[in-house]
Every structure is written in structure tokens, then in C-alpha cells.
């Protein structure tokens, strides 16, 4: 079974990803609504859209960081640029999201070209600082001088007196796709005690995310992708063989910038707002976190990392005293209080602490992220089976997720 | 002219803070070869040492004062801080008034311990890992420290006052022969600058004139040889990490009257301090100090109205702009040695 220029294994892999993505509204809703597990359900549109959007962001970042090893600390700038582009298209043309998304990709590509051209003259920590400096400059400017373009602290939004020249009287009054559906449209499906929300906005982002994933898969398997990996492994050697690596790294930087712009555009497609806080350097740090946590340089890793962080951001910040008391009610009172006091450090408002700890643990013990962890466990099981068969399995083959 | 001098002075206190943090960052990078993204968090912890002492000083109990009455005619209930009842009213009030400078006495041991624990517990294992890993793990640590502080002290900035003797402003212009009120400069900022100067000279003198400092400098130049000579260079480097943490901590303590400490001040300063280190030259101590003051002063000049009307927004981006220019034209930084991290 070969499709779209992929090998057998990759086709299966892609199909699995497509299946999982399309079934997400069901898979993330494993508990009946009335049950205590309902708070662990993640099958509501807002969160699922964020999975898909940050998945795209992380996939793009991974093309730069995972393949070439260049650690950018300024990718949130492109996210912000993408959001602003989409909202401007709303204001000027109308609520159709497509022109905005196209503009978001183009504008972020231009910014990435400029910033990448300058920043890639240096590598290592200097590259990180340069990208950070550019992103901070853009963030500061968005708050101050560029207020006419960005609406400063209020954030850019659509007002009733905006021109919206392409908007006809019959057009929808919220972000929509060629007037076919609104992003906020959704149908509820009730099966027994379960309730599933099928949202137009989610499927829209999911389709884009699948395309984004497919492109990254092709890049990983292409000679271009190999070249990027070679740059990560030994750039000096490449230079000595007479290869100029700059065009390759620049291309990777621009591609990842476009992914980030697209993700930012989609954020504004879901919620027609754009604010400068999206460009802050902590947002850049977050995407680094996602990629590292999932596994840099792997295909699935960034998506897993993005989903993991967004899921736990949502769940952990929802856990409050009431929930904790409910959970630990079976314990003796003294112990219960001790445990709840300790839990306070990690849940609710201070879930970032958990995130920071997790991040440290991953960097220290599992530099390959969740994917590597999964592979290690799989390898251990496989190793045991091989021993049972009294065969000496060769070194485990790299799986498709690599 | 007076406007220029005023901006020069305004740049000094911010520049002092940049210089102190950058000095610690450079010290750590020069000795251990580690890029420490948690250094801003150390600055913040220092600032919160001052907040802690303020809370301790503020602990009080209620006492009925029979000599006074409130508006209803009943005996007045007054709050008496414990320190005043323990050490007598005069000395207690003095302690409360001078709490920020006194916090240094608390901050130094706290920061030394934090520094040692951090170095032995975490950084030690990252000597040989790539810089990217070092950045990432210390970034994670910074998040953890920041969230812990947020947990205990809340998200809002906490005001801490300078001693009342320094609360006003100094008419600096009169000293230089300008009109009165032309150059007003808060006393505490002057104190901060002098304090920073003392700390910086102290660190340089320590490195230059003590045997310990000499060994450290030798280790910075050639770690292996120093080790082969039978000197336990690792332990000295750990001590230097503690020293760098203490410098960042006291810088944070003294900065509290200028900027009310909040949990994310560390991150805010960290980004700028890194830029400072890069501009000064990775691994160059004089470079870090010079670049700290230079960028602080440049930033305050850029926020003059005349310059802002000429180039809008320049005050927001000047530091980053300078950093980009320096990195592209002279990657080793202003005073960096050739060959250190040039790529």
C-alpha cells in the first residue's frame, strides 16, 4: 500500500495518525458525562482545537530544532504575526478565514526570511539569543509604536465600522469557511451516558494539521531532511566537503516560521482576537518545551508533547480543593490534609511548577522525550520476547515514529 | 546638558543591576562552562529575601495602650511588632527602617546555600552536555523557582521601602553648578550604584589578589592543567557558583526599593542580562560589567523624548538592536577573548 509518495510503513503510519485525529472527539471523551471522570474528558472543541493548533506549531518547530539542532527562542513572534494577519484580513475583507491564513503564512515567511537570514549567521547559544532578541523587539514594538497596527494592550479585534469589503449581507457573522460553516458550529452526539461534540472548527484545524503533518513527514524522508540531519550531526564536516549549509538552515527556518504563522492564524480563526502576549518569550519557551517533552527530531514527538502540555494545562489547572478532598476522602483525616497540602504545589494555579519539574526531569533523564521513553519500554518488551524465542534480535529497527 | 546628565544617572541604576547579574552569569560560564538560564531566578530569590525579612519584621501582636484612647473613648489597641518588644522600641524601629540593607545579611547565606545545592544537585551533571541542554534544564529550574515564589508570596508585586533616610531625592544639579531642581536623583538609586560598584570591585579584587582567586583564574584558563597540579578545581568552581548566586541575590535585595519585587522579575531581567553578556563578550568579566552599564545608559538615553520623537519606539528595542549589531559584526563581544564561543 503506497500512497502520496510514501513508503509502506509511512503510509500506515500516516493513516493511523489520520484515524486518530479524526476520532479525537470520541477518543478524548472516555468517561460518561455524569461520572466523576468527566473532568478528565478533553473532548470539547476549544481544547481539541488547541491540540491541533499547537501540534502544528510544534511540528514546524521540530523541523528546525529537531532536524538541524538550531534552538530558536523566538518562534512565538511568528505565532503573533500570523494572528495579526488573520484579524487584519477579517477587518479588511470579511470573516472568511482562508485569505487570512494565506496572508499569515506569507507574512510569517517574510519575517522568518529576514530574521533567519540574520540570525543564522551564528549558531549555538548566539543563535538562540539572536532569535530571542528579535522576538522581544517585535513584542515590545507591538505594545508601543505599532499600536495602530496591533491595537496595543487591548489586542486587535474586529469592530462594526471596519470595511470588510468582501462581506455580503448573507455572510456569516463569525469566522467561517467560504460561508459554508462557522468555526463555532458544532453538533452534540449523545450515546448512552456519553456526549460527543463534533465541531466544525476542530475538523477544520484537524485537516490542516494532517496536511501539516504529511508535509513534515515528506520533509523528514527527503534528501533535504537528510541534509538537515547532517547539519545537526556535523556541520563542520559538511562545510569541508564544500557544501554551503546556510541555504538549508534558512529554508528550515522559514518553513518552521510558516508553520508557526499558520498556527497563529488558526488561533485567530478560532477566536477573532490577536494580542501581543502571544509573542512573549515565554510562549517561545512553551513550544520548545512541547518539542523536547515529546521528543525532538521525531515525527510524532512534537504532537504528543503539544497534546500533553495543553491537556495537563487544562486538567491540572482545573483541580481545586473540592476535587482533591473528594479524591482523598478515603484516607484518615490527618493524612488527607497532608496530601492535599502537598498537592497544592502542583495543581490549580501552580500547575506551571509541575510543568517545570517535568521539563527538568525529561531533559535530565530522557533527552529523547516521551517517544524515546516509549521506545525504550517497547525495546525492553521486545528484548524479553526475543530471549524467550532464544533468538538474538538485532538492534531494534527504528520505528516509524522516529 | 542637564538632561543628558540626568539620563546618564538614570541609566546607572539599571545598568548596575544588569552588570551585577551579567557578572554572575559570566563567572558561571567562565568557570563551569555552563549557560545558566536560572540566574534571573536567583536575582528574584534575593529580592524575595528582602520581602521575607519584611514579613518577619512586620509580625506583630496587639496590645492595649492605656495612655491613649480611640475615638470612642476606649483604650486604644495598637499593634506592636515583636522586634520592637524584644529589642526595645528604638532599636526595633531602627531594624524595621533598615530592613532592606539588613536583608543582605539574610540573603548571603541563603543564596550561598541555594547556589551550592543547585550546582551540586543539578549543574554538575551538565558540564559535558551541549549548551542547548544546559539552557533547557536551567530554564525548567527557573520556572520551578518562579512558581514556588509565586505560591508562597502571591502574584502581586510587594512593596518594600528604602530606609527613610534615603527616601527622598538628591538635588544633584546644584553640586555641578546647575539650577536647583534641574537634576533630581533619588538617593536610593545613588546608593544602589555605589553598592554595585563596591560589589563589583570586591569580586574583581577577590579574583585578582587572593590565592583562591588566582587558582580560579588559572582554572578558567586551563582547567585540566590546574587539576593535574593536584588542586581540587571542582570545589573551587562550586564556591564560585555560590559566589555568583550571592552576587545576584544581593543585587536583587538592594533593587527592591526601586522595583517592587514580583515573581517574574527574574525572567524579565534574565533576557536582558543575557543580551548584556553577549554584548560584553561571553566569558569576559570586565566585558559584562562594561556592557551592563553601557546598555543601561543607552536605554535611558533612548527613552528621552527628543530621541523618541526622532526614532519612534527606539527605547523599546535599543538593547536588542545593539546586541544584534554586535553579534553580527563582532561575535566575540566588546571585550571577549578571541576564540571563546565565536561560532
pLDDT tens digits in sequence order for chain B, 343 residues long: 777 888 888 888 889 989 999 999 988 888 888 888 899 999 999 999 999 998 888 888 877 777 777 777 777 777 778 887 788 778 888 888 888 888 899 999 999 999 999 999 888 888 888 887 888 889 889 988 988 898 888 888 888 878 888 877 777 777 777 777 777 788 888 889 999 999 999 999 999 999 999 998 888 888 888 889 988 888 888 899 999 999 999 999 999 988 889 888 887 788 888 888 888 888 788 999 999 999 999 988 888 878 888 887 787 788 888 888 888 888 788 887 765 555 4
Nearest to B241 by CA among B21, B27, B18: B27
CB atoms within 10 A of CB A271: 17
For the domain that residue A36 is a member of, what is the CATH number?
1.10.3470
For the domain that residue B51 is a member of, what is the CATH number?
1.10.3470
What is the distance between the alpha carbons of residues B24 and B288, in angstroms, rounded to a whole number? 9
* Nearest Cα residue in chain A from B329: A121
Chain A 114-143, residues with CB within 8 Å of chain B CB atoms: 118, 121-126, 128-130, 132-134, 136-137, 140-141, 143
On whether residue A199 sits in a domain, the answer given is yes
CB–CB contact A352 B317 (8 Å)? no
What is the distance between the alpha carbons of residues A278 and A280, in angstroms, rounded to a whole number? 6
What percentage of chain A exceeds 90 in pLDDT?
A: 31
On whether residue B334 sits in a domain, the answer given is no
| B62 three-class SS | strand
CB–CB contact B271 A132 (8 Å)? yes
Flag whether residue A342 sits within 8 Å of chain B, measured between CB atoms.
no
| A252 three-class SS | helix
Note the pLDDT tens digit of each residue in B190-234. 889 999 999 999 999 999 999 999 998 888 888 888 889 988 888
CB atoms within 10 A of CB A334: 8
CB–CB contact A281 B341 (8 Å)? no
* Nearest Cα residue in chain A from B318: A137
* Nearest Cα residue in chain A from B276: A129
Indicate whether A391 pLDDT > 70.
no
Nearest to A368 by CA among A303, A291, A261: A291
What's the pLDDT score for residue A385?
A: 64
CB–CB contact B323 A126 (8 Å)? no
On whether residue B298 sits in a domain, the answer given is yes
Nearest to A264 by CA among A208, A217, A314, A182: A208
Q: Is residue A321 a contact partner of residue A311, using CB atoms and an 8 Å limit?
A: no
What is the distance between the alpha carbons of residues A128 and A65, in angstroms, rounded to a whole number? 11
Q: Is residue A156 a contact partner of residue A273, using CB atoms and an 8 Å limit?
A: yes
What's the pLDDT score for residue A400?
A: 47
CB–CB contact B278 A126 (8 Å)? yes
Indicate whether A2 pLDDT > 80.
no
Q: Determine the Cα angle at B268 with ends B206 and B293, to 5°.
A: 45
**In angstroms, what CA-CA distances link A346 with A251, B38, B143?**
40, 20, 13
Flag whether residue B35 sits within 8 Å of chain A, measured between CB atoms.
yes
- C-alpha cell recorded at residue B240: 564560585
Flag whether residue A255 sits within 8 Å of chain B, measured between CB atoms.
no
Chain B 256-285, residues with CB within 8 Å of chain A CB atoms: 267, 271, 274-275, 278, 282
CB atoms within 10 A of CB A121: 14
Note the pLDDT tens digit of each residue in A25-43. 888 888 887 777 777 787 7
Q: How confident is the model at residue A261 (pLDDT cuts 50, 70, 90)?
A: very high
Distance of CA B235 to the CA centre of its chain: 24
- Residues of A with Cβ-Cβ distance to B313 under 8 angstroms: 140-141, 144-146
CB–CB contact B151 A353 (8 Å)? yes
The stretch A294-299 carries a mean pLDDT of 89
The stretch A101-120 carries a mean pLDDT of 94
The stretch A112-130 carries a mean pLDDT of 88
Q: How far is B74 from chain A (nearest CA, A)?
A: 42
On whether residue A236 sits in a domain, the answer given is yes
Note the pLDDT tens digit of each residue in A204-258. 999 999 999 999 999 999 999 999 999 998 888 998 999 999 999 999 999 999 9
What's the pLDDT score for residue B270?
A: 83
Chain A 376-395, residues with CB within 8 Å of chain B CB atoms: none
Strand ranges, E, within A73-207: 156-157, 176-177, 181-182, 186-191, 194-199
- C-alpha cell recorded at residue B216: 580560579
On whether residue A319 sits in a domain, the answer given is no
If 0-12 CB within 10 Å is exposed, 13-18 middle and 19+ buried, where does residue A2 land? exposed
* Nearest Cα residue in chain A from B129: A364
Q: Is residue A10 a contact partner of residue A220, using CB atoms and an 8 Å limit?
A: no
Name the phi and psi angles at B79, rounded to 5.
-90, 130
On whether residue A378 sits in a domain, the answer given is no
Question: For residues A89 and A190, which has the higher predicted lDDT (pLDDT)?
Answer: A89
Flag whether residue A288 sits within 8 Å of chain B, measured between CB atoms.
yes
ipTM of the complex: 0.80
On whether residue A157 sits in a domain, the answer given is yes
Look up residue A398 and give its DSSP letter: P
- Residues of B with Cβ-Cβ distance to A115 under 8 angstroms: none
Domain count, chain A: 1
What is the distance between the alpha carbons of residues B244 and A397, in angstroms, rounded to a whole number? 47
DSSP element (H, E) containing B104: helix B99-121
Per the structure, the complete domain to which residue A61 belongs is given by 20-297
Per the structure, the complete domain to which residue B202 belongs is given by 2-329
CB–CB contact A129 B147 (8 Å)? no
Indicate whether A396 pLDDT > 70.
no
- C-alpha cell recorded at residue B103: 536583608
- Residues of A with Cβ-Cβ distance to B147 under 8 angstroms: 350, 352-353, 356
Note the pLDDT tens digit of each residue in A366-381. 888 888 888 888 888 8
- Residues of A with Cβ-Cβ distance to B150 under 8 angstroms: 349-350
Q: How far is A196 from chain B (nearest CA, A)?
A: 35
- Residues of B with Cβ-Cβ distance to A141 under 8 angstroms: 313, 316-317
* Nearest Cα residue in chain A from B316: A140
Q: What single string gives the DSSP state of each residue in B279-331?
A: HH-TT-HHHHHHHHHHHHHHHHHHTSHHHHHHSTTHHHHHHHHHHHHHHHH-T
Domain count, chain B: 1
Q: How confident is the model at residue A3 (pLDDT cuts 50, 70, 90)?
A: low
On whether residue A303 sits in a domain, the answer given is no
Q: How far is A121 from chain B (nearest CA, A)?
A: 7
CB–CB contact A356 B147 (8 Å)? yes
Q: How confident is the model at residue A265 (pLDDT cuts 50, 70, 90)?
A: very high
| A243 three-class SS | coil
Amino acid at each position: 500500500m503506497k500512497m502520496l509518495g510514501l513508503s509502506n510503513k509511512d503510509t500506515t503510519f500516516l493513516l493511523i495518525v489520520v484515524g486518530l485525529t479524526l476520532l479525537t472527539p470520541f477518543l478524548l471523551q472516555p468517561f460518561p458525562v455524569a461520572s466523576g471522570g468527566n473532568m478528565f474528558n478533553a473532548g470539547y472543541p476549544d481544547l481539541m482545537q488547541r491540540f491541533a493548533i499547537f501540534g502544528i506549531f510544534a511540528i514546524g518547530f521540530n523541523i528546525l530544532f529537531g532536524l538541524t539542532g538550531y534552538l530558536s527562542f523566538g518562534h512565538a513572534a511568528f505565532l503573533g504575526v500570523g494572528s495579526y494577519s488573520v484579524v487584519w484580513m477579517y477587518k479588511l475583507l470579511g470573516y472568511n478565514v482562508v485569505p487570512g491564513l494565506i496572508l499569515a503564512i506569507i507574512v510569517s515567511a517574510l519575517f522568518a526570511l529576514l530574521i533567519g537570514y540574520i540570525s543564522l549567521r551564528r549558531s549555538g547559544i548566539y543563535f538562540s539569543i539572536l532569535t530571542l532578541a528579535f522576538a522581544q523587539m517585535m513584542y515590545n514594538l507591538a505594545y508601543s509604536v505599532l499600536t495602530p497596527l496591533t491595537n496595543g494592550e487591548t489586542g486587535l479585534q474586529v469592530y462594526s465600522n471596519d470595511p470588510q469589503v468582501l462581506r455580503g449581507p448573507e455572510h456569516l457573522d463569525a469566522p467561517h469557511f467560504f460561508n459554508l460553516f462557522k468555526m463555532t458550529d458544532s453538533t452534540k452526539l449523545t450515546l448512552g451516558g456519553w456526549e460527543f461534540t463534533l465541531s466544525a472548527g476542530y475538523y477544520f484545524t484537524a485537516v490542516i494539521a494532517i496536511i501539516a503533518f504529511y508535509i513534515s513527514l515528506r520533509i523528514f524522508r527527503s534528501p533535504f531532511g537528510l541534509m538537515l540531519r547532517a547539519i545537526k550531526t556535523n556541520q563542520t564536516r559538511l562545510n569541508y566537503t564544500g557544501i554551503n549549509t546556510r541555504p538549508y538552515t534558512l529554508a528550515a527556518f522559514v518553513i518552521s516560521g510558516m508553520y508557526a504563522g499558520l498556527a497563529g492564524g488558526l488561533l485567530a480563526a478560532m477566536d477573532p482576537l490577536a494580542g501581543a502576549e502571544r509573542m512573549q518569550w515565554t510562549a517561545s519557551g512553551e513550544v520548545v518545551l512541547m518539542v523536547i517533552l515529546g521528543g525532538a527530531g521525531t515525527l510524532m514527538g512534537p504532537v504528543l508533547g503539544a497534546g500533553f502540555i495543553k491537556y495537563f494545562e487544562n486538567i491540572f489547572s482545573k483541580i481545586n480543593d473540592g476535587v482533591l478532598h473528594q479524591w482523598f476522602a478515603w484516607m484518615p483525616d490527618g493524612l488527607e490534609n497532608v496530601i492535599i497540602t502537598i498537592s497544592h504545589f502542583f495543581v490549580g494555579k501552580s500547575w506551571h511548577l509541575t510543568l517545570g519539574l517535568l521539563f527538568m526531569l525529561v531533559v535530565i533523564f530522557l533527552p529523547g522525550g516521551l517517544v524515546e521513553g516509549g521506545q525504550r519500554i517497547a525495546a525492553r518488551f521486545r528484548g524479553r520476547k526475543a530471549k524467550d524465542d532464544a533468538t538474538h534480535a538485532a538492534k531494534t529497527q527504528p520505528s516509524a515514529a522516529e | 546638558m542637564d538632561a543628558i546628565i540626568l539620563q546618564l544617572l538614570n541609566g546607572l541604576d539599571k545598568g548596575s543591576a544588569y552588570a551585577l547579574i551579567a557578572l554572575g552569569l559570566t563567572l558561571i560560564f567562565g568557570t563551569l562552562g555552563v549557560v545558566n538560564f536560572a540566574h534571573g531566578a536567583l536575582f528574584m530569590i534575593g529580592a524575595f529575601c528582602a520581602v521575607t525579612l519584611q514579613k518577619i519584621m512586620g509580625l506583630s501582636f496587639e496590645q492595649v495602650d492605656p495612655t491613649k484612647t480611640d475615638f470612642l473613648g476606649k483604650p486604644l489597641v495598637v499593634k506592636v511588632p515583636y522586634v520592637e518588644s524584644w529589642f526595645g522600641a528604638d532599636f526595633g524601629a531602627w531594624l524595621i527602617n533598615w530592613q532592606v540593607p539588613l536583608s543582605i545579611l539574610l540573603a548571603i547565606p541563603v543564596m550561598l546555600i541555594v547556589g551550592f545545592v543547585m550546582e551540586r544537585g543539578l549543574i554538575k551533571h551538565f558540564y559535558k552536555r551541549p549548551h542547548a541542554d544546559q539552557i533547557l534544564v536551567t530554564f525548567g529550574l527557573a520556572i520551578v523557582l518562579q512558581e514556588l515564589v509565586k505560591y508562597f508570596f502571591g502574584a502581586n508585586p510587594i512593596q518594600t521601602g528604602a530606609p527613610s533616610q534615603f527616601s527622598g531625592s538628591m538635588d544633584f544639579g546644584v553640586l555641578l553648578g546647575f539650577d536647583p531642581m534641574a537634576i533630581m536623583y533619588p538617593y536610593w538609586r545613588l546608593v544602589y550604584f555605589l553598592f554595585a560598584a563596591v560589589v563589583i570591585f570586591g569580586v574583581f579584587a577577590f579574583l585578582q589578589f587572593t590565592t583562591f582567586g588566582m587558582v580560579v583564574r588559572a582554572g578558567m584558563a586551563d582547567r585540566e592543567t590546574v587539576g593535574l597540579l593536584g588542586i581540587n578545581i571542582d570545589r573551587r568552581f562550586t564556591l564560585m557558583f555560590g559566589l555568583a548566586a550571592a552576587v545576584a541575590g544581593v543585587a536583587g535585595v538592594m533593587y527592591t526599593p526601586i522595583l517592587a519585587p514580583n515573581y517574574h522579575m527574574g525572567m524579565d531581567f534574565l533576557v536582558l542580562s543575557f543580551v548584556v553578556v553577549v554584548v560584553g563578550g561571553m566569558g569576559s568579566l570586565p566585558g559584562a560589567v562594561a556592557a551592563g552599564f553601557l546598555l543601561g545608559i543607552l536605554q535611558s538615553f533612548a527613552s528621552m523624548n527628543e530621541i523618541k520623537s526622532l526614532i519612534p519606539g527606539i527605547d523599546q528595542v535599543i538593547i536588542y538592536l545593539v546586541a544584534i549589531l554586535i553579534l553580527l559584526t563582532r561575535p566575540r563581544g566588546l571585550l571577549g577573548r578571541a576564540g571563546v564561543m565565536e561560532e
